[in-house]
Structure 1
Amino acid sequence: MSPSQTLPLGTIRTEQVWKRFKADQQRMLLRDKVDAMARRLRGEKGEDWRWALRDISMHIEPGDSVGLIGSNGSGKSTLLKMLTRVMYPYGGVIDVRGRIGALIEIRAGIHPDLTGRENIYLFGALLGLRRREVATRFDDIVEFARLGGAIDRQVKFYSSGMQMRLGFAVAAYLEPHVLLVDEVLAVGDAVFQQRCLDRMREVAEQGTTIVFVSHDLPAVESICRRGIWLEQGSIRVDAGIKEAMAGYRDSIEAQSEAGGRTGEPIQLLKHEVRGEERESLTTDEPMTVELTLGGDYRGDATLHLGVSEGTSSPIFQISHEVRLTGGDRRVSCVIPRLPLPRGRYTLWAGVYSIGRTDGGTLMSWHSTGQFDVFGPMLDSPPRAVVLAAPVFVPHHWEE
């Protein structure tokens, strides 16, 4: 794009962006260590560097809502900080057009020696708003942040939760063209997190561009239409939010399955998930899970089964006490009416001894594989709800 071309307000554009930090040898990726070793073998001098971002190119249109997902250390927060110009790239081009409202740290944009009131007007001035424009939004900001009489107290005397509420309210209510939000929302309580998510949906519907970083995948999926999955500083997937989430979840599950549980007293030798007709599972019809456990452990234990949509937190979990006598043991669990809608799910299993004070892990909680369910889709939730309820409930209506 030539310099003479003007991008619309709310546009985010990055081209071949690279970012590096001086390396912490214990945290360097293997390929960075290999590169450093090769340089030393060639006799080249200089510091070893860790690349946090590698060749990031993306174009976000005005009004898009984008979720940045990925594991810790994948580069999400670094990219967000460069979009706010807190950091600058080693190489490449970053162009963000319009006013930016950002919440990337608890105190981001908040001066501790000023009062809450003074901070609101200061932030507005930095965004280029006139004092009367800020005044028209002042009451909404104070009400949303639930600060009351504390608005005229110096911010350095606020709790971390109060600072976060003020920071988000200011960023979200002063009508930015681009709203950037990092995982910092996790500091707030569940009620305030819900209110923040609702406000993010409102500003998205008003045409504000949103970039949201969070490990709360259902929250990201409920707000964002597009997902960018970062892995080791590179874009792995840039697609619709469901496609990006599916790829990321598959990666999490594959890592769990490959992690290995050697040395544990109990091993899962075999498992099978089948429906009434064996080859498929259907909503509201029977599901059978058959496990074969192996090991020399003898004693009472509890077998836990869970079903999730990608993370280790199950949609539902079932437990059963078993007596293990050494050797192989086959256990079956039958669910008469499967309460899951159409989709792909993950089965989890774990075995723990009974009566042990140390927790008695015999087989740690882990993913055993995926299965597909055929049946109805869930109804779409109203915009005020974080996400669709994950369980299908058979029902009918009468009037």
Structure 2
Amino acid sequence: MSPDGTIRTEHLWKRFRADRQRMLLRDRVEQMGRRLRGGGPEDWSWALRDIDLHIEPGDAVGLIGSNGSGKSTLLKLLTRVMYPYAGTVDVRGRIGALIEIRAGIHPDLTGRENIYLFGALLGLKRREVAARFDAIVEFAQLNTAIDRQVKFYSSGMQMRLGFAVAAYLEPEVLLVDEVLAVGDAVFQQKCLDRMREVLEQGTTLVFVSHDLAAVESVCSRGIWLEQGTVRVDAGIREALGAYRESIEAKTEASARVGEPVQLLKCEVRGTERDSPATGEGLVVDLVLGGDHRNPAMLHLGVSEGTASPVFSLRHEITTKDGEARVRCVIPRLPLPRGRYTLWVGAYGMWHIEGQSLMAWHPAGQFEVYGPELDPPPRAVVLAAPVYVEHEWS
């Protein structure tokens, strides 16, 4: 028998019927036509397709993927809120889950009563819950509201209570969905720190979030879901890297038709070799087209895949003659080894909102050769990977 904290799924399938209440008349007619022609039940959509997972006790797994890829559905199957169409789900031990803000919380009960109810559902004795009660209330910051009915809580208060209960009653398996986005930055950091603490106690964690930096800081393994299938199951950096490359491939464009300023050409190279290296020079050559008579502000940034850059630079340009050639030289590149994306955008200088002349978009990718970035302590979210030359003595 598998030990507590083990998660195993085999040939897992889950489907949903289309919402007929929201179907347009033409969709209903098309559906009836398919049935008259002998077509199959095409109003079903598959949320998960043949998922095989094996997660060992104490593993920290990040589920990543775009909206609709099946992440939340998988968590609901693991908690047995839903049942699969086919396949098996085996989760050993007590499960603490925070999938939706109100999940597991009864609105007509007080915060105090909900804590004891949740503990009873986990199979804990009342004295075991009482021993953790003060820590839960302090973490959730509900000292003055703990005896108030939960239906009068704000969404943030409900989320704090739900997470504190799920994480402090020491489950063998902790499942956390994107609901942490409801909280403020301070509480999000507290939640990340608490997840690391339960991992050190041997709890298995499955964490769903679009905040890739938070996922990377907590999880050691990444599973990328795409259209209900496992696209990548690997170490967290490898999984995130593959996911980011996919995002870049879908959005990359060398020219954006219809915009006043267009990127016609982009080249990235090193000053001392073809490919840039850590601590050496980087050269970016851009050719811009258009007929925007007023000066514009060109923005250039480098990221690990998302639209938020590690650093960004700007320069005033004009394309009144139909073309502008721009070169940007960075004498000492402060990036460790890895694959990066170059982003560009152009905006008006005098418009009150900064008129968009060329939308912020990826212009190309490049590899940097050099040392790996030293890993930070587990309590720190790695948000900006910058290489700093240093000496120890």
Q: Residue 77 of structure 2 contacts residue 84 of structure 2 at CA under 8 Å; is this kept in 1?
A: yes
Answer yes or no: is 1:390 the counterpart of 2:385: yes
> What CA deviation, in whole Å up to 9, does each residue of 1:17-37 have, x standing for no partner?
111112259999xxxxxxx79
Assess, with a 3 A threshold, how the Cα gap between structure 1 residues 37 and 187 changes in structure 2: closer, same or farther. Answer: same
Instruction: Provide the residue aligned with 2:127 in structure 1.
Output: 132
**Distance of 2:62 and 2:121 partners within structure 1:** 26
Q: Residue 47 of structure 2 contacts residue 228 of structure 2 at CA under 8 Å; is this kept in 1?
A: yes
Moved more, 174-183 or 264-273: 264-273
Instruction: Provide the residue aligned with 1:32 in structure 2.
Output: none
Instruction: Provide the residue aligned with 2:27 in structure 1.
Output: none
Instruction: Provide the residue aligned with 1:299 in structure 2.
Output: 294
Answer yes or no: is 1:168 the counterpart of 2:163: yes
Deviation at 1:168, TM superposition (A): 0.4
**Distance of 1:377 and 1:45 partners within structure 2:** 53
Aligned counterpart in structure 1 of residue 259 of structure 2, from 264, 269, 273: 264
Assess, with a 3 A threshold, how the Cα gap between structure 1 residues 353 and 304 changes in structure 2: closer, same or farther. Answer: same
Q: Residue 64 of structure 2 contacts residue 210 of structure 2 at CA under 8 Å; is this kept in 1?
A: yes
For 2:226, give the aligned amino acid.
Answer: E
Instruction: Provide the residue aligned with 1:219 in structure 2.
Output: 214
Instruction: Provide the residue aligned with 1:152 in structure 2.
Output: 147
Deviation at 1:258, TM superposition (A): 5.2
Deviation at 1:327, TM superposition (A): 2.0
Instruction: Provide the residue aligned with 2:86 in structure 1.
Output: 91
Aligned counterpart in structure 2 of residue 186 of structure 1, from 165, 169, 181: 181
Answer yes or no: is 1:50 the counterpart of 2:40: no
Q: 2:193 aligns to what SS in structure 1?
A: helix
For 1:106, give the aligned amino acid.
Answer: I
For 1:209, give the aligned amino acid.
Answer: T
> What CA deviation, in whole Å up to 9, does each residue of 1:290-327 have, x standing for no partner?
10111233221110001001100001111111122232
**Where do residues 53-72 of structure 1 align in structure 2 (5 Å cutoff)?**
53-72=48-67
For 1:292, give the aligned amino acid.
Answer: V
**Distance of 1:373 and 1:47 partners within structure 2:** 47
**Distance of 2:221 and 2:22 partners within structure 1:** 30
Q: 1:350 aligns to what SS in structure 2?
A: strand
Moved more, 380-389 or 214-223: 380-389
**Distance of 1:102 and 1:270 partners within structure 2:** 49
Q: 1:306 aligns to what SS in structure 2?
A: strand
Identity %: 75
> What CA deviation, in whole Å up to 9, does each residue of 1:158-214 have, x standing for no partner?
111111111101100111010000000000000000010011011111111110000
**Where do residues 6-85 of structure 1 align in structure 2 (5 Å cutoff)?**
6-24=1-19, 40=35, 42-44=37-39, 46=41, 48-85=43-80
Assess, with a 3 A threshold, how the Cα gap between structure 1 residues 114 and 25 changes in structure 2: closer, same or farther. Answer: closer
**Distance of 1:330 and 1:179 partners within structure 2:** 54
Assess, with a 3 A threshold, how the Cα gap between structure 1 residues 157 and 394 changes in structure 2: closer, same or farther. Answer: same
Q: TM-score, normalised by structure 2?
A: 0.93
Aligned counterpart in structure 2 of residue 378 of structure 1, from 373, 379, 389: 373
For 2:110, give the aligned amino acid.
Answer: T
> What CA deviation, in whole Å up to 9, does each residue of 1:8-53 have, x standing for no partner?
211111111111112259999xxxxxxx799647514656111111
Q: Residue 380 of structure 1 contacts residue 388 of structure 1 at CA under 8 Å; is this kept in 2?
A: no
Structure 2 residues without counterparts, runs of 5 or longer: 24-30
Aligned counterpart in structure 2 of residue 250 of structure 1, from 237, 245, 268: 245
Q: 2:127 aligns to what SS in structure 1?
A: helix
Q: 2:335 aligns to what SS in structure 1?
A: coil
Q: 1:119 aligns to what SS in structure 2?
A: helix
Q: Residue 251 of structure 2 contacts residue 361 of structure 2 at CA under 8 Å; is this kept in 1?
A: yes
Deviation at 1:359, TM superposition (A): 3.8
**Distance of 2:152 and 2:167 partners within structure 1:** 23
> What CA deviation, in whole Å up to 9, does each residue of 1:303-362 have, x standing for no partner?
000100110000111111112223221101111221111211110001122223564322
Q: TM-score, normalised by structure 1?
A: 0.92
Instruction: Provide the residue aligned with 2:314 in structure 1.
Output: 319
For 2:90, give the aligned amino acid.
Answer: D
> What CA deviation, in whole Å up to 9, does each residue of 1:113-156 have, x standing for no partner?
11111111110000000111111111111111111121122111
Q: Residue 183 of structure 1 contacts residue 213 of structure 1 at CA under 8 Å; is this kept in 2?
A: yes
Assess, with a 3 A threshold, how the Cα gap between structure 1 residues 154 and 24 changes in structure 2: closer, same or farther. Answer: closer
Q: Residue 297 of structure 1 contacts residue 324 of structure 1 at CA under 8 Å; is this kept in 2?
A: yes
For 1:230, give the aligned amino acid.
Answer: L
Deviation at 1:375, TM superposition (A): 2.0
Aligned residues: 388
**Distance of 2:361 and 2:265 partners within structure 1:** 14
Assess, with a 3 A threshold, how the Cα gap between structure 1 residues 80 and 258 changes in structure 2: closer, same or farther. Answer: farther
**Distance of 1:363 and 1:14 partners within structure 2:** 46
Instruction: Provide the residue aligned with 1:3 in structure 2.
Output: none
**Distance of 2:328 and 2:168 partners within structure 1:** 51
Instruction: Provide the residue aligned with 1:288 in structure 2.
Output: 283
Q: Residue 24 of structure 1 contacts residue 50 of structure 1 at CA under 8 Å; is this kept in 2?
A: no
Q: 2:75 aligns to what SS in structure 1?
A: helix
**Distance of 2:224 and 2:213 partners within structure 1:** 15
> What CA deviation, in whole Å up to 9, does each residue of 1:361-399 have, x standing for no partner?
22111101111112222222112112264112233346x
Q: 2:318 aligns to what SS in structure 1?
A: strand
**Distance of 2:252 and 2:374 partners within structure 1:** 32
Instruction: Provide the residue aligned with 1:203 in structure 2.
Output: 198
**Distance of 1:172 and 1:121 partners within structure 2:** 14
Instruction: Provide the residue aligned with 1:33 in structure 2.
Output: none
CA RMSD of aligned residues (A): 2.3
**Distance of 1:8 and 1:38 partners within structure 2:** 52
**Distance of 1:192 and 1:273 partners within structure 2:** 40
Q: Residue 345 of structure 1 contacts residue 372 of structure 1 at CA under 8 Å; is this kept in 2?
A: yes
